[in-house]
Every structure is written in structure tokens, then in C-alpha cells.
Amino acid sequence: MLNRYPLWKNLLILLVLVIAGIYAAPNLYPEDYAVQVSGTREAYTVDSALMSRLEQDLEKAGVAYKAAELNDGTGLIRFADGDAQLRAKDMIADELGGNYVVALNLAPTTPEWLSDIGAGPMKLGLDLRGGVHFLLEVDMAQAVGQRLDVYVSDIKGQLRDERLRYRQVEHLDDGRLSVRFADAETRDQAEDLLRGNFPEFLTETDDTEEGNFVYINLSEQTIREIEDYAVKQNLTTLRNRVNELGVAEPLVQRQGRNRIVVQLPGIQDAAAAKRIIGKTANLEFRLEAKPDESRANTEVYPFRTTPGRTAELERDIIITGSNVANAQASFDENGQPQVNITLDGKGGQMMSRVTRNAIQRRMAVLFVEHKSRMVEQRVDGETVEKRVPYTEKGIISLATIQSTLGNSFRITGLESSQESSELALLLRAGALAAPIYFVEERTVGPSMGAENIKMGVTSVQIGFALVLAFMLLYYRVFGLLANVALTLNLVLLVAVMSILSATLTLPGIAGIVLTVGMAVDANVLIFERIKEELKNGMPVQSAINAGFSRAHTTILDANITTLLAAVILFAMGTGPVKGFAVTLSVGILTSMFTAILVTRALVNLAYGGRTLKKLGL
């Protein structure tokens, strides 16, 4: 029994460790405080001219910066401390105005040769970095309801085109549509027509004294599609809004069937973020009703700013906020806030077509907001809280059309400059396809994040030091070897986390601490086994070999079951818990590698290939 690894095996282990060392290295470089500048749209890109202008401005203002760089149309200016970063951000934001997004960021300082091979530091979770986490729920009933409303007008149009006379088309509260006819024959013709034109309809007929009805249900698949569309549309809109907010490295992701996660790391003004993200403001442009207009075609709305004043508007909507191509907040001649609006092609056409025939009539701009309130309801004797959505519409301006409107004009009548800039932002980012509600929110202040890192690192250090000391005292030379393996395990763990660009959270750090404690287990198992074999009178080299090989099964079984638990934790956990599961799983795998292979290699190097009477164990 020689206990020597062939050269290739030693080299392979060494290679793995060297690679691990390289990929773990970026975590040693502290991140820079940085300000990130990017354009909001094609017309406003960040170029080197703009960057040098900013650099000059910073120099003039006496704000020291470390470096300024330009990557793919995004400018990054690095600072030595947070103070300079904040001052510079305010300055740059003032300078550039609303066409550029200016965001605070932490920029990695990974040396170029490392980032060239794809190495980078671990990402820090919100609990370590500070920031906001939202879980939003998309109101699916509303999304389907909105689509049903569209169907109502589609059905009316088709029946009219085919000259089938209907009495009424209604969107019922139970989520069905009902179409009422005067006689069964027309009803049957209409049913055939609708089934042909709308394959997604499931129809039923019913004859009562009130008339002959067709009831329409949507197929399950169609409802799924509508819901899916609503979530995807909302994801896009939320991404746009988050981009407008100027957050570096935001995360907007679907979770489950009807939820969306939004994470904004390092954000300073959480309240503003919440206001913008949850807002469902939109605009509607309508003509004021003519005095002789039938009541069925008009609706009365109040003015937002003057209580008590109302106006009667036509039911038909000329265009909505979704036809807006660009919107910028500014001030009018009198210093009142206004929003300059540019319509897209279709919106511009609609607007000029309608306004051409309506000169000297008045046009209203309606501000539409979807809101919800919690109402207590009694269901089966139990009080449950139910969310009841409602829509608030108010007129913000009613002005006489002087001439045909084209695709760009301005609206006034807003309450404050904050409202005008938020409205402009919302119009640019697009409306939400269905209302969303906050179901979870976590905000962590930046100083708390820093504190969490400090505490996490301290406990890793202390725990690690205690284990190292104990192993050294108890197993002496073998303990030293195990300690080397344990240290390498930590390096390997960090490297794998960095390569996977996994997110490190506070429970994740706890997972590392736990891994440190548990990683020695495999070595303890092996060493105890060697001791035992020695006591049974086995020669030293055979005992070492037997110790390693007999402990294998146990180590494997024990680790696989722990891994099972960790994988389940990962699958069902969210956020921070997932972080724990990741470090735990990775830690189990790396510790198996180091405890079995690395320790063995070290023991072989130290003791292998020679005759020994005693062992320092």
C-alpha cells in the first residue's frame, strides 16, 4: 500500500483549485461607488462627447471621480466614496434632464484579465445591499373583464353587419356574456354566426318570457391566454417603468401564474418607486357632448381640481394613453405644469380625423386611475376581506379645439409638477394591461445591508477560526491537512457561487457558516476510521487507505440526503431562503470534493510512499 496518487490526479486537483482561485478572486476587489448614465430612447444615446462634457462639469464643480468609461451606450463614472457619488448624481441628473436615466450603482472593480475570462464577483442580495423587493399580483378577473367588454362591442358590430337584430348585449357579473333577441330564429342564426367567428366561445341558449338568449362563456384555454397576455404586457410595462426610474440592475420577473417580482437594489427613494410601479394612470381623450346628444351616448364626469364642477362627455373615446409615442413634462408660459405629448401614427390620424369635424367644439382630457379598496364581506357567516377594484375618472382639461390637431400637442390642468412628470413617465412607459396589487413588499435600508454583511462576515470568520483551532488541536497534522482542505473548500464555494452568479443573501452566509461546520464531518469520519483501523492493528499505510475507502459510502449517503433536503428547500423557497439552499447545496458538493479528494491528495503527499511506524493523529 503506497498511498500515492498518480501525477495526473494531483495535477487535475491542482488545476481545479487554481481555476477556483481565479474565479473566486474578483470577490477580493471592493466595488466602486458609481453613477450610471443611459439614454431613454434611440435619439438620446450616451457618447464620448457627452461623457467628456460630464467629466468637465465634475471637475468644475470640484467633485473628484476615479474614472469614467463608456460601454455599449451606457456611461459609468466611478467615485471613491458615497458622498461624491450622491453629489455627482444630483448634478448630472440636473444637467441632462429627463431624456437620460441617471442611476446610482456599485461597479465591480474586477481587473480586465479576470473579466475577460468571465469572472466576476458574487451578486449581493437585497438584504445585504439594501433595496426594495415587491411582489405584485395581477388582477386576472379585471384582465378577463376588460376583454369581455371588448367582445361586447365586437359582437354588436358583427350582428349589425349581418343585419341580425338584437335587443341587448350584456356583460354579466358572473363573467358571461348574454345576447338577447326577440325571436328564436334570429337567435339561432346569430348563434351560428358567433360560433363561426369566435371559435373561443362556448355558447348556450335559453328561452324565457323576456326573450331568447344566447349565453357566452369563454373556453378555459382562452381565459388562460388572456391572463397570460395580461401578465406579459404588465411585465413589459413594469420593465419600462423601472428603466425610467433609473435603477441599476433591476429585476422584473414573473412568478407563478399571476404574480410579478420586482427587485430594485440600492434604490434611494423607495416611496417614489412604489408610487410609479403600482400606478395605473391613463388618459382618455373625448369630445364634449353636443347639447342635443342622446343620454345613452354620453357620460358625466367631475373635474379633478374643481370640486362640484362636471361636464357631459361623449361615450366614444378618440384615443387613449396607449397611442402616446412620447411625453415630456414641462411648464407653460404661466409657469403651470404641462405635459407635451407626441402621438404615434395611428393616434395622430385618429386625432386629426375627429378634430377636423369638431372645430370650435371642446375636447376633454380624462385622467383615469384604477384603484382598489379592501371591503369586509360576510361569506357563509365568516368575515372575509375582499379587494374591490374601482376606477376613478376625472377631467383634467376641457379646451376648445381651435384647429385640427395633429400628432403633437400639450395638456395642462395638472395639480403639480410632480404629477406632470409622473404622468409623462407613465405615458412613456405604457399603461398596465390589468391592475396590479402589492402582495408583498420588503425594503432594506442601505446601512442595514452593510451591517448585515459585516455581521455575516464576522460570524463566518469566528466560526471558521474556531473550527480550524479545534481541528488542529484534536487531530494535529491531520487536522492541519483538514484545515487546508476546509480553506480550499471555502475558496471553491465562493468560486462556484461566482461562476453561477448566484445571489448571496444573509441566510446564504448562514449557509456558508453551516457548511464550514459540516464540511469537517467527512474528514472527521475518515480520520476516526483511520484511528480505528490503526487500533485494530492495521499497518499505517493500509489504515489510511482503509479509512478513506470505508468512509466513502457513509459520506456519500449522508451528503446525498442532505442535498435532497437542500434541493427541496430551493424548489419551494423564495428570496432569502433560496439563497440559503443554494449555498448549502453548493457547499455540500464542494465539501465532498475537498474532503475526499483534496484531503486524500494532501495525506498522500505528506505520508504516502514511505514506511511509517506511527501517525500524527
Partner 1 sequence: MSKTKKIYNFMGPRKIMAAFSIILLLVSIGSLAVNGLKFGLDFTGGSLVEIGYQQPADLGKIRQSMENAGYPDVTVQTFGAATDVLIRLGETHDPKLGDTILASLQADEPDQTLELRRNEFVGSQVGEELREQGGLGMLLALAMIMLYLAFRFQLKFSIGAVLALVHDVIIVLGLFSILQLEFDLTVLAAILAVIGYSLNDTIVVYDRIRENFRIMRTETPVEVMNSSLSQTLSRTLMTSFTTLLVLMALAIFGGTTIFGFAVALLAGIGIGTYSSIYVAANLLLLLKVQREDLIPPPKEETEVDDMP
* C-alpha–C-alpha distance, residues 587 and 510, integer Å: 11
Tell whether residue 425 is a contact of partner 1 (CB under 8 A). no
| Of residues 141 and 572, the one with the C-beta less far from partner 1 | 572
Binders in 556-575 for partner 1, by CB under 8 A = 556-566, 568-569, 571-574
**What SS3 state is found at 67?**
strand
Q: CB of residue 335 vs partner 1: minimum separation in angstroms?
A: 28
Tell whether residue 50 is a contact of partner 1 (CB under 8 A). no
Tell whether residue 616 is a contact of partner 1 (CB under 8 A). no
Tell whether residue 120 is a contact of partner 1 (CB under 8 A). no
Binders in 270-289 for partner 1, by CB under 8 A = 270-271, 274-275, 278
Tell whether residue 445 is a contact of partner 1 (CB under 8 A). yes
Tell whether residue 581 is a contact of partner 1 (CB under 8 A). yes
CA atoms within 13 Å, Cβ hemisphere of 583? 27
**What SS3 state is found at 411?**
strand
Are 327 and 342 a contacting pair, CB within 8 Å?
A: yes
First-to-final CA distance of the chain: 19
Q: Which residues contact 544 (CB under 8 A, 6 or more apart)?
A: 1, 3, 530, 603, 607, 615
Residue 207 is placed in which grid cell?
328561452
Q: Kindly state the number of chain residues that form the binding site for partner 1, as judged by CB under 8 A.
A: 82
Q: Could you tell me which stretch among 89-97, 303-311, 321-329, 467-475 binds partner 1 (CB under 8 A)? A: 467-475
Q: Which of 246, 348, 456, 547 binds partner 1 (CB under 8 A)?
A: 456
Q: Which of 440, 476, 609, 616 binds partner 1 (CB under 8 A)?
A: 440
Tell whether residue 388 is a contact of partner 1 (CB under 8 A). no
Tell whether residue 389 is a contact of partner 1 (CB under 8 A). no
Tell whether residue 125 is a contact of partner 1 (CB under 8 A). no
Q: Which residues contact 343 (CB under 8 A, 6 or more apart)?
A: 319, 323, 324, 325, 351, 407, 408
Q: CB of residue 36 vs partner 1: minimum separation in angstroms?
A: 24
Q: CB of residue 594 vs partner 1: minimum separation in angstroms?
A: 13
* C-alpha–C-alpha distance, residues 553 and 592, integer Å: 12
Tell whether residue 606 is a contact of partner 1 (CB under 8 A). no
| Of residues 114 and 453, the one with the C-beta less far from partner 1 | 453
Tell whether residue 422 is a contact of partner 1 (CB under 8 A). no
| Of residues 182 and 466, the one with the C-beta less far from partner 1 | 466
Q: Which residues contact 19 (CB under 8 A, 6 or more apart)?
A: 495
* C-alpha–C-alpha distance, residues 127 and 442, integer Å: 9
Q: Which of 300, 552, 606, 610 binds partner 1 (CB under 8 A)?
A: 552
Give Cα 348 to chain centroid, integer Å: 34
Identify the helix (H) or strand (E) that includes residue 192: helix 184-197
Tell whether residue 349 is a contact of partner 1 (CB under 8 A). no
Binders in 495-534 for partner 1, by CB under 8 A = 506-507, 509-511, 513-514, 516-518, 520-521, 524-525, 528, 531-532
Q: Which of 247, 252, 264, 444 binds partner 1 (CB under 8 A)?
A: 444
Are 602 and 485 a contacting pair, CB within 8 Å?
A: yes
Q: Which residues contact 385 (CB under 8 A, 6 or more apart)?
A: 374, 375, 376, 377
Q: What is the DSSP letter of 391?
A: E
Tell whether residue 320 is a contact of partner 1 (CB under 8 A). no
| Of residues 6 and 199, the one with the C-beta less far from partner 1 | 6
Tell whether residue 352 is a contact of partner 1 (CB under 8 A). no
* Neighbouring C-beta atoms of residue 465, cutoff 10 Å: 10
Q: CB of residue 26 vs partner 1: minimum separation in angstroms?
A: 25
Q: Which of 60, 295, 535, 614 binds partner 1 (CB under 8 A)?
A: 535
* C-alpha–C-alpha distance, residues 65 and 81, integer Å: 9
* Neighbouring C-beta atoms of residue 327, cutoff 10 Å: 24
Binders in 357-376 for partner 1, by CB under 8 A = 374
Q: CB of residue 441 vs partner 1: minimum separation in angstroms?
A: 4
* C-alpha–C-alpha distance, residues 259 and 235, integer Å: 10
Tell whether residue 82 is a contact of partner 1 (CB under 8 A). no
Q: CB of residue 558 vs partner 1: minimum separation in angstroms?
A: 4
Are 150 and 198 a contacting pair, CB within 8 Å?
A: no
Tell whether residue 474 is a contact of partner 1 (CB under 8 A). yes
Tell whether residue 299 is a contact of partner 1 (CB under 8 A). no
* C-alpha–C-alpha distance, residues 368 and 347, integer Å: 18
Tell whether residue 418 is a contact of partner 1 (CB under 8 A). no
Q: Which of 53, 204, 336, 470 binds partner 1 (CB under 8 A)?
A: 470
Q: Which one, of 210, 196, 115, lies nearest residue 159 by Cα?
A: 196
Tell whether residue 127 is a contact of partner 1 (CB under 8 A). yes
Tell whether residue 547 is a contact of partner 1 (CB under 8 A). no
Residues 139-178: x where in contact with partner 1 by CB under 8 A, - otherwise, as a string: ----------------------------------------
Are 23 and 15 a contacting pair, CB within 8 Å?
A: no
Binders in 185-214 for partner 1, by CB under 8 A = none
Tell whether residue 7 is a contact of partner 1 (CB under 8 A). no
Q: CB of residue 494 vs partner 1: minimum separation in angstroms?
A: 17
Q: Which residues contact 566 (CB under 8 A, 6 or more apart)?
A: 581, 584, 585, 588
Q: Which one, of 575, 585, 37, 46, lies nearest residue 265 by Cα?
A: 575
Q: CB of residue 566 vs partner 1: minimum separation in angstroms?
A: 6
**Helix-, strand-, coil-residue percentages of the chain, each rounded to 5:** 50, 25, 25
